[in-house]
A = this chain, B = another copy of it.
């Protein structure tokens, strides 16, 4: 099942982190941009191809360090159909390199429509007598606002196709409390109600380590909330965005893990993919070898997390 495979990959790399592939054309080093703009002009196609070339170099540089990557679909959709082609190729390339691919799409809708999103990213689409894959991810992020009938179609496909799901519970952004932290008459906050539902889904079908395929998105920027959520969701793996650029640190993500050091996958995007432009790594390599800075940043992030986890 998905979650056992993920835990195995984390163990193999001795690293519970995931690289967010959220590329803008402005992030891509000039030598790659020039190559594709010269060939195809300042077009969506050129931008998308440059982004895929950039992603490939980063994937190659981190594939032996991290267990997973997480392409965020907005960054591809903004380059239109060509961008979605880059998203598809990025997912395929990362899988080819042995990485777990989490499609960070935050999709959601009523049941019949959620089933279509699920086919698009986790399952298969029927075309006459054939079944084909649209985007081939290992897991998908989804939003809970519509309740169970917007989640269950994805859960079914997780069971059928060996895939995983991460439901937004407590997000990393500043305004996440506006609706998520509203206290309900039960005395629980909205996100705690979502957490209980997510854990029930995950507990229904557990793997070797007690975790199920249905995980939760819990922001690195709210360590106290993460601590209480770790108790509410004993069976749900956390996908933890907000490390690095958004302010999360090794210390702040400790509370997302269980006592065995399992239970959380820490995501960082800009701090890895833009490492070559950051104060810490800038100038360490020539621009043509920008991806070596991403590799260094991925190693440093791994070590920072491992170090923090020593004192769990």
Contact = CB atoms under 8 A, between A and B. Distances in A.
A211 interface: no
A190 interface: yes
A43 B127 contact: yes
Interface stretch (A111-119, A225-233, A292-300): A111-119
Contacts of A175: 146-150
A78 interface: yes
A182 interface: yes
Contact of A173 (B120, B127, B147): B147
Contacts of A110: 171-173, 241, 246
Contacts of A287: none
Contacts of A147: 173, 175-180
Interface in A146-196: 146-150, 168, 171-180, 182-185, 190, 193-194
A179 B148 CA distance: 9
A285 interface: no
Contacts of A128: 25, 33, 37, 42
A126 interface: yes
Nearest to A149: B175
Given A117-B74, A145-B179, A79 B173 contact: no
Contact of A125 (B78, B81, B111, B149): B78
A302 interface: no
A46 B128 CA distance: 10
A167 B108 CA distance: 13
A312 interface: no
Interface stretch (A7-15, A129-137, A248-256, A271-279): A129-137
A109 interface: yes
Contacts of A263: none
Interface of A: 22, 24-26, 33, 37, 42-44, 46-47, 72, 74-75, 77-81, 83-85, 88, 106-111, 113-114, 116-117, 119-121, 125-130, 132-135, 143-150, 168, 171-180, 182-185, 190, 193-194, 197, 241, 246
Given A43-B127, A74-B117, 9 more contacts: A80-B84, A83-B134, A111-B173, A145-B145, A149-B173, A149-B174, A179-B190, A182-B182, A184-B190
